[in-house]
Chains A and B, each alone.
Chain A
């Protein structure tokens, strides 16, 4: 796994694209270096994470947390739109979502 730990700029560019963060060439190189250094260390977790150890996703597990099926407090349309960069006709106004072709 240690050889996988070094990230290239191209891999970071792909990850940034997946994470929807526009990133400059200069940031790419620096981030690749930082992440490679972090990954080289954190990969140590595999040393002790053997098959017989169960995973813990949550520190204090609670199960079947339900609430009564009744109408609770909700935001008004105005409140929901109050922080919107743009709105129109009581709806969020967003840039084009689907491609033209």
Chain B
């Protein structure tokens, strides 16, 4: 079962064979068709016997082989694992055994999700060769549902970054324009879906890491209510903010994947107890028409206008106009504390990072490096291991968190940030009195060029997360769906709902998506350039 990384870094990928003939695959036409289908369409076709899980999986592996040299969405491709699962699904279907409705629909997991027998790197040199002995709950759930695992996707190291450039395994490109970043930290997850390498991707969102790459790549990304999806076996960044979420090519597909991932897990003490709402039914209902009638969309004053690119604001506004034409009521809501949310986040997140990443000590798993000179003790080995194994952004956040938590500064920094968190929750509670969902552009800009994130002032680049961070601080669910294009690049439309109201996001989101698709005549991704 052990898979070794097959394509690490762009330099190796450039040499990778492309368009290799695979004798087992069907005609090129059918291969292309299968990768263009949505997860819902694949599910229906598999159940109807139009094609097998093996054919679907092979079509996606062929597509990966064809475009990975350009996209580099994966750190590890797990073709053998995927084909074994697909064969098992086909065998069960032939034998008339019970199968999950989405059995045979392929999936990828962000390489932050722990997968037994399959290298799990977190995008870091410190875990470059780590083969975990257990499964994260979300991987266990997709396996139990019979979703073939195509591979582990690229990310900013330990999910810290907004461009996926902070990965130790090379850059991922944006399928819309390969000179641009795909966003981050779940950049590989979003790029793999946008490039038709996978219909489903599992990402994680600590401050926007699912929604912002979804916005940059014209895909749908959701950050569920905190606790909706188990964090067990998801390498921790900031535990009170981290949440696993789906990336897909439609709101309905995202709901279907969320449905598979969600549910109480005794291994995660923050996992929500109780029944999982029917997200898929909510999305289907929303897409069937009339979902926007009488819905109050609250435009957040603090998350629009100044600081947002003109093209982003224009695409956001025209989506709002379309919603209004479908009967939605547009109201403006005021959330003054959001002006402090970014600051609170950049204290709380590094504080939790400094604590969580203390486990990478070079003793029990992962990299161990001995100091070049001086005594070799546990302490000096730990310091040398972390110096060699962590990238600059990770080190910066650990040191910042160490400072924010240190005696004498704790109250002023960490304590104050936690109070801002209360204020943000209060503002949202008041806003949800006036609106059913809150809306904004997902990010102030479209996808930016390579090198921009690393070269600018750190606080300036952190501003890119201004619209997504408040949902993580408050624990509420958020969704990004494609509003349209600005100068050829996708613009994300963000919807936020009260905690535990993820189904509302799917219903209203699917309604808005179907209005946008109808107005356009097709989904946004249908007009993405050929790779």
Q: Are A35 and B395 in contact (CB under 8 A)?
A: no
A21 within 8 A of B: yes
Q: Are B420 and A83 in contact (CB under 8 A)?
A: no
- How far is A54 from B472 in the complex, measured between Cα atoms in Å? 18
Query: Which of A7, A27, A37, A80 contacts B459, CB < 8 Å?
Result: A37
Could you say which interface size class chain B belongs to?
A: 35 or more
Looking at chain A's contact residues, the main secondary structure is: loop
B367 within 8 A of A: yes
A1 within 8 A of B: yes
- How far is A49 from B414 in the complex, measured between Cα atoms in Å? 11
B45 within 8 A of A: no
- How far is A80 from B365 in the complex, measured between Cα atoms in Å? 9
How many contacts A-B (CB < 8 Å)? 185
Q: Are A46 and B412 in contact (CB under 8 A)?
A: yes
Query: Which of A18, A47, A85 contacts B402, CB < 8 Å?
Result: A18
Taking CB atoms, residues of chain B closer than 8 Å to A90 are none
**Residue from the set B134, B371, B396, B399 with the largest chain A CB neighbour count within 10 Å:** B399
Taking CB atoms, residues of chain B closer than 8 Å to A50 are 419
Q: Are B377 and A83 in contact (CB under 8 A)?
A: no
Taking CB atoms, residues of chain A closer than 8 Å to B421 are 55-56, 59
Taking CB atoms, residues of chain B closer than 8 Å to A53 are 419, 422-423
Known: A41-B343, A59-B240, A94-B378. A34 touches B396 (CB 8 A): yes
Interface of chain A residues 20 through 79 with chain B (CB within 8 A): 20-23, 27, 31, 34-35, 37-39, 41-50, 53-60, 62, 65, 67, 75, 79
A83 to B, closest residue via Cβ = B365
Q: What mask results when residues 80 to 92 of chain A are scored 1 for a CB within 8 Å of chain B, else 0?
A: 1011111000001
Q: Are B457 and A37 in contact (CB under 8 A)?
A: yes
Taking CB atoms, residues of chain B closer than 8 Å to A94 are 363, 378
Q: Are A58 and B366 in contact (CB under 8 A)?
A: no
Q: Are A49 and B227 in contact (CB under 8 A)?
A: no
Q: What mask results when residues 362 to 395 of chain B are scored 1 for a CB within 8 Å of chain A, else 0?
A: 1111111011000111111111101100101001
B: residues with CB less than 8 A from A are: 130-134, 225-227, 240-241, 266, 269-270, 272-273, 337, 340, 343-344, 346-347, 354, 358, 361-368, 370-371, 375-384, 386-387, 390, 392, 395-396, 398-400, 402-403, 406, 409, 412-413, 415-423, 425, 457-459, 462, 472-476, 499
Which 8 interchain pairs have the tightest Cβ spacing? A59-B475, A83-B365, A49-B416, A85-B368, A55-B418, A79-B133, A22-B387, A49-B419
